[in-house]
Amino acid sequence: MLNSNAKIVRKKLPWQELDEKIVILSPETRMSHELNETASWIWKELEHEKSFKTLLEGLIEYFDVDDTIASSDLAEVLIAMKDIALIEIND
């Protein structure tokens, strides 16, 4: 679980929205990453640095989901995005 005050920062990578999905290019790895609807929403929300808590509150409101499930799922997505160098998480 991530600290609710952890700051999430989107890396400055080229990206484009195609059919409600985000495609991000990573020049360092020469890979592209296609995000699903939820991850695309997160990516757009991270235009400016946000805390885990702020992202979670927005996710719950936007997708009308259960708090506990949303928290777990958001943490999982953010860690996956960090692992492939799309974002940074600063505790």
- How many domains does the structure of the chain reveal? 1
CATH of the domain at 33: 1.10.10
Is the pLDDT confidence value at 67 over 90? yes
pTM: 0.93
CA angle 56, 29, 15 (to 5 degrees): 50
Can you give the pLDDT at residue 19?
Answer: 87
Tell me the residue range of the domain where 84 lies: 7-90
pLDDT tens-digit readout, 13-58: 999 999 889 999 999 889 999 999 999 999 999 999 999 999 999 9
Does residue 1 fall inside a structural domain? no
Q: Note whether residue 2 is domain-resident.
A: no
Distance CA 68, CA 84 (A): 25
